[in-house]
């Protein structure tokens, strides 16, 4: 028996769907966002105007970085407790959405701390605050998942906290917001979505519902992501925005694999963008996982789906088109930095999503894999 959750109350999709905020009710809204982009393209101003027209007070907590840490969450939580909102709206990429998920849960449950959240079972539902997620990038799927990834600086590690209480009540997919994304963000977040769909598809916990979502997301992303990156057409931005959400719905019910295990370790250590690391790691991990016959069959199915002979080669070609670095060295990590952090990277990469990889990953295998990914050396299986 398996319990499948396909988002919260609703996914509201379509260009201009930001106007659906006119349907919500509340007295005070706490808006969580990242840096300047949502201010610069007018999204925050529009949200505030819609809410103020409904006599809903607003407060904007901004500055959430690309790898939100415990300090950023606690800073937002302190403001929430001062303002006592009944609506929380996360606007931006996966980082502010993930941070807002944890803020909202800790606000509803004052006894929660980051210490006991790592050791105790988390509450499975929020108690009072309504939570709305509005993604501005097309990649994380966080607007429909039960996970929130937070960086624990003391451990140099990104940890995925999981509970049904993190699933937003509403996910608003307004592709108009994505039109201001610069090409490198389109590339990195898009490859994050590709990684979600592919890792889900080769996971041994794949179910019939998630299989269709993941396979459809892979096909759609490989078709429209290059167009979104190169031409920035409204249609391609909308398609990628929808397919990344489908990938999120899929992996939320299945799990991921070693790509994300490594990405969380590397991101926690070097503060690189999550999608960028996923994109670099994905071809190496797929080659490693090709030791498993089931993985080989499913990758062959994906190859047929996208009209190519070899799916790993298709991913590599897509990375090339998107100007993704071919190795971790090319991302700017120096050899000294990599060597100094290596032992901790190996240990941390074996945690999290690596535990549900299609094949078990030993410590020696992980060490060898990380060296290949850093240097750009082909993986041999």
What pLDDT score was predicted for residue 16?
Answer: 94
Q: pLDDT tens digit string along 107-156?
A: 999 999 999 999 999 999 998 899 999 999 999 999 999 999 999 988 88
219 token code pair: 């096909």
What pLDDT score was predicted for residue 152?
Answer: 92
What pLDDT score was predicted for residue 217?
Answer: 98
How far apart are alpha carbons 381 and 370 in whole angstroms? 14
What pLDDT score was predicted for residue 147?
Answer: 94
Determine contact, residues 163/232, Cβ cutoff 8 Å. Answer: no
What pLDDT score was predicted for residue 157?
Answer: 83
Determine contact, residues 32/90, Cβ cutoff 8 Å. Answer: yes
Helices (runs of H) and strands (runs of E) counted in the chain: 14, 8
How far apart are alpha carbons 298 and 336 in whole angstroms? 38
What pLDDT score was predicted for residue 274?
Answer: 95
Least Cα distance to 149 among 352, 370, 361, 356 occurs for 352
Q: pLDDT tens digit string along 282-322?
A: 999 999 999 999 999 999 999 999 999 999 999 999 999 99
How far apart are alpha carbons 300 and 309 in whole angstroms? 8
Q: Which domains does the chain have, with CATH numbers?
A: 10-177 (3.40.50.1970), 182-375 (1.20.1090.10)
In order along the chain (381 residues), what is the average pLDDT of each group of 10 residues? 88 95 96 95 96 96 93 97 97 96 97 94 94 97 96 88 96 96 97 98 97 98 98 97 98 97 95 96 98 98 97 98 98 97 97 97 98 96 76
What pLDDT score was predicted for residue 367?
Answer: 98
């Amino acid at each position: 028996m398996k319990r499948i959750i396909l988002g919260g109350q609703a996914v509201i999709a379509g260009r201009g769907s930001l106007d659906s905020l006119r349907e919500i009710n509340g007295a005070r809204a706490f808006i969580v966002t990242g840096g300047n982009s949502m201010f610069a393209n007018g999204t925050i101003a529009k949200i505030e105007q819609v809410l103020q027209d409904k006599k809903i007070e607003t407060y904007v907590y901004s500055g959430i970085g690309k790898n939100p840490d415990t300090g950023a969450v606690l800073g937002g939580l302190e403001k929430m407790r001062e303002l006592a909102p009944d609506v929380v709206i996360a606007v931006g990429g996966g980082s502010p959405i993930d941070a807002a998920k944890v803020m909202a849960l800790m606000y509803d449950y004052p006894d929660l701390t980051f210490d006991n959240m790592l050791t105790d079972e988390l509450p499975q539902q929020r108690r009072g605050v309504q939570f709305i997620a509005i993604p501005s990038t097309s990649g994380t799927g966080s607007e429909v998942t039960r996970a929130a990834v937070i960086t624990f600086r003391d451990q140099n590690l990104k940890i995925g906290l999981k509970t049904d209480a993190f699933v937003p009540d509403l996910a608003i997919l307004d592709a108009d917001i994505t039109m201001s994304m610069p090409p490198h963000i389109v590339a990195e977040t898009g490859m994050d979505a590709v990684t979600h769909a592919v890792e889900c598809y080769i996971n041994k916990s794949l179910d019939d519902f998630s299989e269709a979502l993941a396979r459809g997301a892979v096909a759609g992303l490989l078709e429209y992501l290059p167009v979104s990156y190169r031409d920035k057409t409204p249609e391609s931005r909308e398609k990628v925005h929808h397919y990344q959400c489908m990938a999120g719905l899929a992996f939320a019910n299945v799990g991921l694999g070693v790509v994300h295990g490594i990405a969380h370790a590397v991101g926690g250590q070097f503060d690189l963008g999550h999608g960028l690391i996923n994109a670099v790691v994905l071809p190496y991990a797929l080659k490693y996982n090709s030791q498993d016959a089931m993985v080989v069959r499913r990758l062959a199915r994906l190859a047929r789906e996208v009209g190519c002979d070899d799916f790993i080669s298709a991913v590599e070609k897509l990375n090339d088109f998107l100007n993704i670095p071919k190795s971790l060295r090319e991302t700017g990590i120096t050899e000294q930095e990599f060597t100094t952090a290596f032992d901790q990277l190996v240990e941390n990469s074996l945690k999290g999503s690596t535990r549900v990889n299609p094949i078990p990953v030993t410590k020696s295998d992980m060490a060898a894999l990380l060296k290949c990914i850093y240097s750009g050396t082909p993986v041999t299986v």
